[in-house]
Amino acid sequence: MNDEPEESPGVPGFRTWRGVYVFVVGVFLLSVALLALFARFLR
Amino acid sequence: MNAVDWWVLLGTMLGIAAYGTWRTRHTDTLNTYLKGNHATKWGTIGLSVMATQASTITYLSLPGQAYESGIAFIQNYFGLPLALIVVCAVFLPIYRKLGVYTAYEYLGQRFDAKTRLLGASLFLLQRGIQSGITIYAPAIILSTVLGWPLELTIVFTGLLVIVYTVTGGSAAVNLTQKWQMAVIFGGMMTAFVVVLIHLPPDATHIAGALGKLQAVDFTPDFERRYTFWSGLLGGFFLSLSYFGTDQSQVQRYIGGAALREGRLGLMFNAVFKIPMQFSIVMLGAMLYVFYLFQPGTPVFFNQTEWQRHRAGPQAAAFQAIEEKYAAAHADQQVKIKAWVAARNGADAAAEAATRREMTAAQATAVAIRQEAKAQLKAVDPRAKTKDSDYVFITFILTQLPHGVIGLLIAVMFASALSSKAGELNALGTTSTIDVWRHFRPLAAHDEARNVRNAKWFTAAWGFFAIGFALMVSAAENLIEFLNIVASIFYPALLGVFMVAFFIKKVGGSAVFWGAVATQAAVLAIYLVGRFNPAYEIGYLWLNPIGCVMCVLFSLGLQTVWPARKEPVAG
């Protein structure tokens, strides 16, 4: 859909945007897991 | 508040106003007024996107929401990171490539003029109503600080925000919000520290045992407002609409220097939003425990409203409720201490028995608070009985150190004004570009006239917001009310954009009527649930249901209607 060449995110440790998106999904999954554990521990 | 607070407050307000005015003194073109400064960096965009979404309403309302209902509201944000990835990968490159002023211009290019008008109208209707809700945030602050009636502070802050917006533009909004956010974060941290200092050692366990810390609920129940599923799916569609189709957000990354900055700004939010909101709801849950042990905890946190009626002919009834609540509050403390002792003594039977007693004492206190609200309604049917938005502001004014109170009130008020300015700016821009220009195409190239009209529209929406706030009495917590309104009007709009991006064969007329039918259906589903609780579904579900409905209606209409060449409009 986008004809522009894919520019680098310019963030240390990430060469592509796909890498940034995977990192965001990873952080999200970790957040949910920690919240679930938190709720389970403090009932 | 004492004299130090007032000096800090006035100095901060004047400083913010002077800085914004100085930095934006050359803002005179339509492009800058409407799109913002093109030199905006990703950090500014990221903070600005967070600031408009996590504005004073969040800081004011979210701790109160957690105080009342626990931290389950955090699930509302579960779909947000995934939605932001879709906005970055799909929506943003399209907007940037087309070089549009508003998201709805794209609909005109992809479909036709009537679909563009429909998209803009849905946005204007939804945002217009929301601006009538968000105006409560600065008004509540002023009302609590000065003890003025809420109606008066609504009018005062409304007029102030109109002047601020019309003389500023979106560049001023971006510039000042960055600093306001930094101070608010500092203030929130101070508040957290103050709460922590005063909490008993088992505070988190007390909050957990009283049902305030259930962050994730995997129950597949459509009726519950906040579950993992409604947050993930409903929240995904809600966030996709907000960040991908709402002009108040889209205008921010259209204004960024490059696609990269816009994307990084959004990814910044995708990573930090859930932790940030978690810290705010946790503050609310800890405030709940704090007030359990605080002598003189008010039965109703909107003290301006309470004292106004308490001084009336029904004073004895109000006093009786206060005394009853004070006794219940003291009893709650005794029951909690007994439970903590049983828990630490590792006696399972005693722990279970004291837990039951503690929960019963909590139910009694909640019932007395309900009685207090019923009493308010009995003396004044127009009385505002939702007091959770007043919990945090009450804490700030009574517990934080002097000087910090003044600073925090100033930046929260300024942030609320900025947030309102961003909202009104988006309403003014869309009204000018997508509606006024449509009816006056010859005036499109007269830049000065466009800026003038955008400012007039901005002011008009400001007056609409004041009028709406004065007429409608919010039955919900502010932050929930905003999300409910968004969930009613966003789904059809998102459906139109989904068809535009992904289904090439559908033309303007099919998607237009598909969206109209969807809007009617979503409104009907909401109203049926509202007036008949047996059919109520959690409002977040309206988002995926409406979006899918719009896509299916559009496809169906395109199939049954004879193919014809769709007019192309710009």
Q: Do A39 and B216 touch (CB under 8 A)?
A: yes
Question: How many angstroms separate the Cα of B400 from the Cα of each of B190, B319, B409, B414?
Answer: 8, 28, 11, 19
A25–B81 C-beta distance less than 8 A = yes
Q: Could you give phi then psi for residue B164, rounded to 5 degrees? A: -60, -45
State the SS3 of B314-364: CHHHHHHHHHHHHHHHHHHHHHHHHHHHHHHCCCHHHHHHHHHHHHHHHHH
Residue by residue, pLDDT tens for chain A (43 residues) are 444 456 777 777 888 889 999 999 999 999 999 999 988 887 6
Q: What is the pLDDT of residue B299?
A: 92
Measure B167 CA to nearest chain A CA, in Å: 35
Q: What does the alpha-carbon distance between residue B125 and residue B60 come to, in Å, rounded to a whole number? A: 25
* B28-50 pLDDT tens trace: 555 544 444 545 556 666 666 66
Tokens of B268: 């910044």
B208: nearest CB among A8, A31, A43: A43
Burial label for B293, CB within 10 Å (0-12, 13-18, 19+), is: middle
**What is the pLDDT, as a whole number, of residue B96?**
77
Helix axes B391-399, B259-292, angle to 10 degrees: 70
Partner A contacted by B259 (CB < 8 A) = yes
Give residue B313's pLDDT. 83
Q: Which of A1, A8, A21 is closest, CB to CB, to B94?
A: A1
Closest CA to B285 of B511, B460, B29, B63: B63
More confident residue, B38 or B10: B10
Total domains present in chain A: 1
Q: What is the pLDDT of residues B409-462, one digit of tens each?
A: 887 777 777 777 777 887 888 888 778 877 777 666 777 777 788 888 888 988
- Residue B26: pLDDT band with limits 50, 70, 90: low
Q: Who's near B190: CB < 8 A, 6+ residues apart?
A: B400, B401, B404, B408
Contact call for A27 and B81, based on CB within 8 A: yes
d(C-alpha B498, C-alpha B338), whole Å: 57
User: Using one digit for the tens of pLDDT, what is the confidence trace for B218-277?
Assistant: 988 888 889 999 999 999 999 999 988 887 777 766 655 567 777 888 888 899 889 989
Amino acid at A4: E
CB-CB neighbours of B516 under 10 Å: 15
**Residue the block writes with tokens 């909590």:** B362
Shortest CB distance from A24 goes to which of B78, B81, B275? Answer: B81
Q: Which of B207, B270, B275 sits opposite A24 (nearest CB)?
A: B270
CA-to-CA dists, residue B276 to B53, B69, B70, B282, B484, angstroms: 12, 19, 16, 10, 22
pLDDT of A35 reads 92
Over range B204-222, report the average pLDDT: 89
Cβ-Cβ contacts under 8 Å, A19 against chain B? none
Q: What SS3 string covers B15-75? A: HHHHHHHHHCCCCCCHHHHHHCCCCCCHHHHHHHHHHHHCCHHHHHHHHHHHHHHCHHHHH
Give the mean model confidence (pLDDT) for residues B400-411: 84
User: In angstroms, rounded to a whole number, what is the distance separating the alpha carbons of residues B461 and B427?
Assistant: 7
From A7, A21, A32, residue closest to B85, measured CB to CB: A21
Return the number of CB contacts < 8 Å for A and B. Answer: 77
Most B CBs within 10 A among A14, A29, A31, A40, hence the mutation to make, goes to A31
- Asked if B457 contacts B432 with a C-beta cutoff of 8 angstroms, the reply is yes
- pLDDT of A29: 95
Contact B490, B542 (CB under 8 A): no
Judge: B274–A31 Cβ closer than 8 Å, yes or no: yes
Q: How far is A4 from chain B (nearest CA, A)?
A: 8
d(CA B123, CA B248): 9
Yes or no, beta carbons of A36 and B215 under 8 Å apart: yes
Residue (of B403, B428, B391, B359) closest to B170 by Cα position: B428
Interface of B with A in 11-50 (CB under 8 A): none
pLDDT value at B162 more than 60: yes
Looking at this protein, which amino acid is placed at residue B380? D
CA distance B440 to chain A (A): 32
Q: With an 8 Å Cβ cutoff, are A3 and B228 in contact?
A: no
Q: Is B90 on the interface with A (CB under 8 A)?
A: yes
> For B494-549, what is each residue's pLDDT tens digit?
999 999 988 988 888 999 999 999 999 999 999 998 888 888 888 999 999 999 99
CB count in 10 Å sphere of residue B436 = 18
pLDDT score at B233:
95
Predicted confidence band at B78 (pLDDT cuts at 50, 70, 90)? very high
Is B523 exposed, middle or buried (CB count within 10 Å of its CB: 0-12, 13-18, 19+)? Answer: middle
Over residues B163-201, the pLDDT tens digits come to 877 776 445 555 666 667 777 777 788 888 888 888 888
Locate all alpha helices (DSSP H) within chain A, ordered by sequence. 17-41
- pLDDT of the residue at B169: 45
Q: Distances in Å between the alpha carbon of B278 and those of B238, B282, B301, B522?
A: 19, 6, 23, 30
Q: How would residue B25 be classed by pLDDT, with cut points 50, 70 and 90?
A: low
Q: What pLDDT shows up at residue B171?
A: 55
**Contacting residues of A for B263, CB less than 8 Å apart:** 9, 17, 20
How close is the nearest chain B Cα to the Cα of A5, in Å?
Answer: 11
Interval B138-152 mean pLDDT: 84
| Chain B CB contacts of A8 below 8 Å | 260
Which domain covers residue A2, as residue numbers? Answer: 1-43
- E-assigned strand segments in B79-230: none
> Chain A residues with CB inside 8 Å of B228's CB?
32
Q: What pLDDT digit, counting tens, does each position of B282-306 carry?
A: 999 999 999 999 888 999 998 888 8
Which chain B residue has its CA at the smallest distance from A28's CA?
A: B81
Q: Which helix (H) or strand (E) holds B182?
A: helix B170-198
B54-58, B78-82, B256-260, B324-328, range with the lowest pLDDT = B256-260
Instruction: Judge: A9–B264 Cβ closer than 8 Å, yes or no.
Output: yes
Q: Which of A20, A28, A41, A43 to mutate to test the interface with B (most CBs of B within 10 A)?
A: A28
**B267 → closest Cβ in A7, A24, A43:** A24
* pLDDT, tens digit (0-9, with 9 covering 90-100), for B341-392: 998 887 888 889 999 999 999 999 999 999 999 998 888 887 778 888 899 9
Q: Higher model confidence: residue B71 or residue B101?
A: B71
Q: What is the pLDDT of residues B120-136, one digit of tens each?
A: 888 888 888 888 888 88
Q: What pLDDT score does B45 carry?
A: 61
Q: What is the pLDDT of residues B300-338, one digit of tens each?
A: 998 888 888 888 888 888 999 999 999 999 999 999 999
